Amino acid sequence: MVRVTHWITFIAFVALLITGGEIVISHPRFYWGEVGNVNTRPLFIIPIPASRATVPTGYGYVMPDQNGWSRYLHFEAAWVVVLTGLVYGIYGLWSGHFRKNLIPARSDWTWRAYRDRIAKYIHRGRADRSEESTYNVLQRTAYLVVILVLFPLIIWTGLAMSPSFTSAFPATAALLGGRQSARTIHFFVSWLLLLFLFVHVAMVALSGFRSRMRAMITGQSRDSGEDE
């Protein structure tokens, strides 16, 4: 179940990244507060051409408009992530996956545990025997931050941009400082998730891409036939 939800989320996340990028291209300016448009001062601008002639980018070039299908796919993929996340969350609590594999052991709740594991990464030390079947303290923390902080935050900021959703739940936008703040946070959180993806894939590559991929797809690690 962990593996199935992992790969579904991966596919949906890639779709969200691509379509999110396309949507940003139609207005590559970011603001803070409730409102923002080409007549107001931006927080920052991404120096790329836009897919709208109304945005002053300094380029004499307007990119093709891809917003229609991008928006359809973005929201559909968001549903896939939310529903898959629900299944994963319920399964993780019910099966003890979170307790066994994600919440760091109480003895690891120290700076020292983190420092030691980082030092081990730096010195390319061999993984402990215990790390073959579960995650170390750094992995556990990174995964928990993604599951409990970044994904909830990106869903929240996404909903805070919906004029209809915020009509029923105005606090979702107000607590973030407004609609444009939500959009800006949404943008940064997607970069953090992308950063996680890069590090995650790099770690998989360093620890043996083929064996790790086989383990994550089939559930079989090389020497034990233990199922996930």
Contact footprint for another protein (CB under 8 A)? 23-24, 26-27, 29, 34-40, 52-55, 67-69, 71-73, 75-79, 161-168, 170, 173, 179-180, 183, 227
Nearest distance from C-beta of residue 141 to another protein, angstroms: 31
Q: Collect all residues with Cβ–Cβ distance below 8 Å to 219 and sequence separation of at least 6.
A: 3, 227, 228
Nearest distance from C-beta of residue 78 to another protein, angstroms: 8
**Residue placing its CB nearer to another protein in the complex, 29 or 117:** 29
Residue type, 167: S
Nearest distance from C-beta of residue 211 to another protein, angstroms: 22
Nearest distance from C-beta of residue 161 to another protein, angstroms: 7
**Residue placing its CB nearer to another protein in the complex, 165 or 196:** 165
Torsion of CA 23, 25, 29, 35, to 10 degrees: -30
**Residue placing its CB nearer to another protein in the complex, 71 or 97:** 71
**Residue placing its CB nearer to another protein in the complex, 1 or 197:** 1
Q: How many CB atoms lie within 10 A of CB 19?
A: 22
Distance in angstroms (rounded) separating the CA atoms of residues 87 and 78: 14
**Residue placing its CB nearer to another protein in the complex, 7 or 75:** 75
Nearest distance from C-beta of residue 39 to another protein, angstroms: 4
| DSSP string of 149-204, one letter each residue | IIHHHHHHHHHTT-TTHHHH-THHHHTTTSHHHHHHHHHHHHHHHHHHHHHHHHHH
